[in-house]
Amino acid sequence: MKKIQILGTGCSKCEKLTKNVQQAVKETGTDCSVEKITDIMEITNFGVMVTPALAIDGDVKSVGKVLSPEEIAKLIAR
């Protein structure tokens, strides 16, 4: 099972990224757990200074932008 983490404080971009992740997971049918991380200290532990960010299995894949469901699906498939 893949672990997808959305790093962000809850801004509108973070919410949009969350929706896009949920859509990508649903469309791919991949077995994933989705976790939202809103604690600033935990976010900075990933080395992230700009949100929203997306991590898969603890590896940061995107910082500072809202990926489309299609882009996220490609990352999940890897």
Q: How far is CA 12 from CA 27, 37, 73, in A?
A: 23, 15, 21
The one catalytic residue among 4, 7, 14, 56: 14
32: annotated active-site residue = no
Q: Which residues are bridge partners to 63 per DSSP?
A: 53
The one catalytic residue among 11, 40, 49, 77: 11
Report which of 40, 46, 45, 34 is spatially closest to residue 10, judged by C-alpha positions.
40
User: Which residues belong to the active site?
Assistant: 11, 14
